[in-house]
């Protein structure tokens, strides 16, 4: 009995040994190795995921493009690999070597989608800021920690910061020497709140193309405003900057980080819209002057751009021909108070808060007491002297005339939305304020339409719909390297001529003239709006 029991257990042991041997041979391949080692997983932070910034139609003003990140598992095998990765990442080889020496997986954004190195995987990750530059100064940028630094990114950082981070999920061998897999992963709640703006992305792209289509246009701004609501439909500043590489713009002599749509500039003859309003309000619209090419005031001669003069002109002819002597003589008859009060009512000297920390410059409205001298009144009436106005203020000025004397308040943000698109908070447009009566506004519109049809604004005339506007070539008091004057060229106006909908302001820093540099840009934008 005892021998039989021993034989039974011996047979049972042999059976289990055979089964284990069978399992061993079945799993000798990859399955067997996987059973021996599950490897290690690491998470490498690539970028911060943020909420969306939308235009008025719901199109994103951020994201939409992608960057490539090289995810690396040290050690890098050769000096060549270090140099090649550094070159693709735009950093020093020492920086790559230092990252590798830490012994943990690391990542760099690279500019080479064909990079091939051992233990380096390429991952495509959504880029925060697109390359088209549209509304870059409005959207703003973030720092290396993904925190908003300027523009809407800063103003609504708390709303936009809740999306978590974008990471590389890296798998390495058990010995930690081989990269066996890499994929994009995300942490956080995944919520994508959004800030909705008044900006029209397509119109903004077109405005950019129109500005640069005119030879010589390099610096300036374009603003398009809804004359009734004050909605900023386009608010472009030139040159733009790359929000993905802000450091590269810090030393640029053209100051690309400056939002010129919000900054103050000499306005020149575009201010004659305000002066004309004060003339009409004072009951002097029938005032006539004979222009001989200059006017003597305050002990000096102030010239007209037409050296031989315009001859006998009334308000309509003087506005169409931008006759300085006429406006100076008429403004002196109006008096300081009438002229100054009109400027203040049109919004000159007023800063606009468009969001928390997104505020336009207030410009410089010449102090009332400094207008006691006739020479100061003369300069003020034609937009010269220390008068400084922003393109946004100028759009408000045009909108007031185009909107029947009702001055709108600029609006940039319409709503905050949750990740389902539902409105969390709405920002309604402010009620426009009546600052001139409708009869005065109607006469201003007629003057501006006549300036396009028969005056210095002819180059701004659109294909359809007609338009009203005013040219300006403002002296800045500065000179270029070759000794020539630096002027600001403007065209400001509305479209269409009947029942205006849009105020359009074009500023060209160091432009040749309002009619040559700015008016053609205005025309192209009008033609786009009509299409």
CATH of the domain at 159: 3.90.1310.10
pTM of structure: 0.86
Q: Which domain holds residue 344?
A: 201-530
Token pair recorded at residue 236: 């472009």
Q: Whole-angstrom Cα distance, residue 339 to residue 341?
A: 6
Instruction: For residues 264 and 391, state if they share a domain.
Output: yes
Contact 267, 387 (CB under 8 A): yes
- Does residue 180 lie within any of the structural domains? yes
- Does residue 14 lie within any of the structural domains? no
Q: What is the pLDDT of residue 80?
A: 93
Please report the DSSP string for 409-450 in residue order: --B-EEEEE-TTS-EEEE-PPPPPEE-S-HHHHHHHHHHHHH
Q: Is 153 exposed, middle or buried (0-12, 13-18, 19+ CB in 10 A)?
A: buried
Q: Whole-angstrom Cα distance, residue 213 to residue 62?
A: 25
- Does residue 11 lie within any of the structural domains? no
Contact 358, 468 (CB under 8 A): no
Q: Strands, DSSP E only, in 116-231? A: 120-127, 165-172, 179-186, 194-197, 220-226
Q: What is the pLDDT of residue 358?
A: 96
Of 523, 526, 513, the residue nearest 472 (C-alpha):
513
Instruction: For residues 192 and 209, state if they share a domain.
Output: no
Contact 474, 269 (CB under 8 A): yes
- Does residue 211 lie within any of the structural domains? yes
Q: What is the pLDDT of residue 329?
A: 97
Q: In the 8-state DSSP scheme, what is residue 37?
A: -
- Does residue 358 lie within any of the structural domains? yes
Instruction: For residues 391 and 473, state if they share a domain.
Output: yes
Q: In the 8-state DSSP scheme, what is residue 333?
A: H
Radius of gyration of the chain (CA): 33
Q: What are the residue ranges in the chain where pLDDT is below 50?
A: 17-38
Tell me which of 173, 197, 221 is where a domain ends.
197
| Cβ-proximal residues to 424 (8 Å cutoff; 6+ apart), any chain | 193, 415, 416, 417, 418
- Does residue 72 lie within any of the structural domains? yes
- Report pLDDT digits (tens) over 32-50: 233 334 468 888 888 878 8
Instruction: For residues 273 and 343, state if they share a domain.
Output: yes
- Does residue 49 lie within any of the structural domains? yes
Q: Whole-angstrom Cα distance, residue 414 to residue 199?
A: 10
Number of domains in the chain: 2
Q: What is the pLDDT of residue 6?
A: 53
Q: What is the CATH number of the domain that holds 349?
A: 3.40.710.10
Residue 252, helix vs strand vs coil = coil
Contact 151, 360 (CB under 8 A): no
Residue 312, helix vs strand vs coil = strand
Q: What is the pLDDT of residue 483?
A: 74
Instruction: For residues 209 and 337, state if they share a domain.
Output: yes
Q: Strands 194-197 and 52-54, how do they pair?
A: parallel
Contact 67, 130 (CB under 8 A): no
Q: Whole-angstrom Cα distance, residue 268 to residue 394?
A: 12
Q: Whole-angstrom Cα distance, residue 250 to residue 257?
A: 7
- Does residue 208 lie within any of the structural domains? yes
Q: Which residue has the tokens 């009546």?
A: 434
Contact 474, 384 (CB under 8 A): yes
Contact 272, 382 (CB under 8 A): yes
Instruction: For residues 517 and 475, state if they share a domain.
Output: yes
Tell me which of 165, 197, 229 is where a domain ends.
197
Token pair recorded at residue 447: 């003057």
Q: What is the pLDDT of residue 276?
A: 98
Instruction: For residues 169 and 209, state if they share a domain.
Output: no
Q: Whole-angstrom Cα distance, residue 210 to residue 223?
A: 12
Q: What is the pLDDT of residue 62?
A: 92
Q: What are the Cα distances from residue 4, in Å, to 1, 298, 331?
A: 5, 135, 129
Q: Strands 406-407 and 433-434, how do they pair?
A: antiparallel
Q: In the 8-state DSSP scheme, what is residue 166?
A: E
Q: What is the pLDDT of residue 98?
A: 93
């Amino acid at each position: 009995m005892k021998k039989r029991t021993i034989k039974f257990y011996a047979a049972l042991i042999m059976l289990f040994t055979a089964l284990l041997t069978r399992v061993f041979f079945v799993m000798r391949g990859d399955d067997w190795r996987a059973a021996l080692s599950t490897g290690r997983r690491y998470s490498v932070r690539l970028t911060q995921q943020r909420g969306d910034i939308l235009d008025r139609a719901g199109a994103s003003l951020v994201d939409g493009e992608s960057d490539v990140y090289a995810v690396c598992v040290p050690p890098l095998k050769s000096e060549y690999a270090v140099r090649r990765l550094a070159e693709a990442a735009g950093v020093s080889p020492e920086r790559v070597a230092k990252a590798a020496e830490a012994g943990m997986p690391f990542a760099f954004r690279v500019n080479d989608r064909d990079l091939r190195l051992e233990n380096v995987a390429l991952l495509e990750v959504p880029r925060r800021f697109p390359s088209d530059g549209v509304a870059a100064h409005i959207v703003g940028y973030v720092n290396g920690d993904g925190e908003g630094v300027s523009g809407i990114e800063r103003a609504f950082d708390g709303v936009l910061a809740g999306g978590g981070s974008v990471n590389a999920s890296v798998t390495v061998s058990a010995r930690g020497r081989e990269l066996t897999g890499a994929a994009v992963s995300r942490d956080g709640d995944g919520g994508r709140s959004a800030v909705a703006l008044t900006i029209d992305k397509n119109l903004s792209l077109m405005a950019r193309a129109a500005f640069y289509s005119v030879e010589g246009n390099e610096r300036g701004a374009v603003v398009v405003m809804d004359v009734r609501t004050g909605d900023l439909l386009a608010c472009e500043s030139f040159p733009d900057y790359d929000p993905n590489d802000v450091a590269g713009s810090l030393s640029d002599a053209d100051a690309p980080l400056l939002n010129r749509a919000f900054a103050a500039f000499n306005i020149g003859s575009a201010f004659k819209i305000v002066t004309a309003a004060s003339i009409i309000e004072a009951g002097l619209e029938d005032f006539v002057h004979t222009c001989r090419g200059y006017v003597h005031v305050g002990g000096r001669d102030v010239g007209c751009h037409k050296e031989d003069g315009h001859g006998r002109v009334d308000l309509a002819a003087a506005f169409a021909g931008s006759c300085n002597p006429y406006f100076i003589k008429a403004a002196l008859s109006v008096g300081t108070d009438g002229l100054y009060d009109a400027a203040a009512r049109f919004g000159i000297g007023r800063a606009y808060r468009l969001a928390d920390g997104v505020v336009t410059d207030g410009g410089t409205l010449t102090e009332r007491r400094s207008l006691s001298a006739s020479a100061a009144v003369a300069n003020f009436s034609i937009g010269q002297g220390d008068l400084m106005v922003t393109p946004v203020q100028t759009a408000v000025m045009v909108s007031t005339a185009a909107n029947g004397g009702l001055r709108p308040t600029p609006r940039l943000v319409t709503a905050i939305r949750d990740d389902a698109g539902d409105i969390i908070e709405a920002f309604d447009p402010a009620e426009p304020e009546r600052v001139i009566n409708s009869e005065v506004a109607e006469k201003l519109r007629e003057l501006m339409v006549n300036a396009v049809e028969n005056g210095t604004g002819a180059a701004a005339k659109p294909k359809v719909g007609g338009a009203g506007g005013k040219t300006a070539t403002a002296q800045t008091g500065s000179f270029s390297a070759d000794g020539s004057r630096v002027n600001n060229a403007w065209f400001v106006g509305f479209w269409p001529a009947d029942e205006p909908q849009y105020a359009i302001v074009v500023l060209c820093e160091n432009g040749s003239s309002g009619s040559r540099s700015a008016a053609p840009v205005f025309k192209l934008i009008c033609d786009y709006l009509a299409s």
